[in-house]
Homo-oligomer: A and B are copies of this chain.
């Protein structure tokens, strides 16, 4: 099982012939991920170390049976690549690209919702189900196959926590980097729902950050979960986030501070670590003790 990606995942990489796309797609393939196609308009017919390149995602899907899109194209073209992937009928779009305008993201989300396609990101490190499939830029070597689910807005902080877990011998079912942009395909709560339903996941680490009210909304769901959750929130000392004007405060109904978020998680029954090391320790206590 695992969530989002597994051994059945067949990836088409938009931007495969670019520097980053090529580097990470080949790394993903080396990990065992089925990277079956690439898309670069005008380069159809070429290949990247044996991975065939197509002019459109539709063509790639038709020819290779790809069911998941991995997007590495630059910001001005990334939204179009996500829309194209959804239109081509993949089940999941993982968008790594950083710097996409929020309007594009909002439009992409609306279209994906309509077509029933799920999205992770944009501006995210990707998703890995250790031992099964790695999509994106996460360093797989720090992961270990196991039963802890992990969801985080941030990339390197995810690595740090995964590292702590692995050092305690705690493997992961799936690690999901959801990204930190204004409109992302999956929020903490969406991923938590999937972990709750995933028979391979026994406990969950949720990593939050200052800003927005997603952690608070996730906390509401954690109250109803049967699986234990260890939380971590970064940003107690961080400079105040970008001001969204008066409108923002009204929408979120949250102060958006790290303290408020940590408090909400604890009130929902999650153990909350003060730093990544403590998160590893708390999870070890939970699972092993």
Q: Does A226 contact B (CB under 8 A)?
A: no
A residues contacting B by CB (< 8 A) are: 110, 113-114
A43 shortest CB reach to chain B, Å: 30
As for how many copies of this chain the complex holds, the number is: 2
Please report the C-alpha to C-alpha distance between residue A113 and residue B114 in the assembled complex, in whole angstroms: 7
Find chain B residues with CB under 8 A from A113 CB. Answer: 114
The 3 closest A-B pairs by CB, nearest first: A114-B114, A113-B114, A110-B114
Please report the C-alpha to C-alpha distance between residue A227 and residue B19 in the assembled complex, in whole angstroms: 59
Closest B residue to A110 by beta carbon equals B114
Find chain B residues with CB under 8 A from A110 CB. Answer: 114
Please report the C-alpha to C-alpha distance between residue A84 and residue B114 in the assembled complex, in whole angstroms: 18
Please report the C-alpha to C-alpha distance between residue A110 and residue B113 in the assembled complex, in whole angstroms: 12
A161 shortest CB reach to chain B, Å: 36
Offer 3 A-B interface pairs, CB within 8 angstroms, sorted by A. Answer: A110-B114, A113-B114, A114-B114
A7 shortest CB reach to chain B, Å: 32
Please report the C-alpha to C-alpha distance between residue A114 and residue B114 in the assembled complex, in whole angstroms: 4
Please report the C-alpha to C-alpha distance between residue A114 and residue B113 in the assembled complex, in whole angstroms: 7
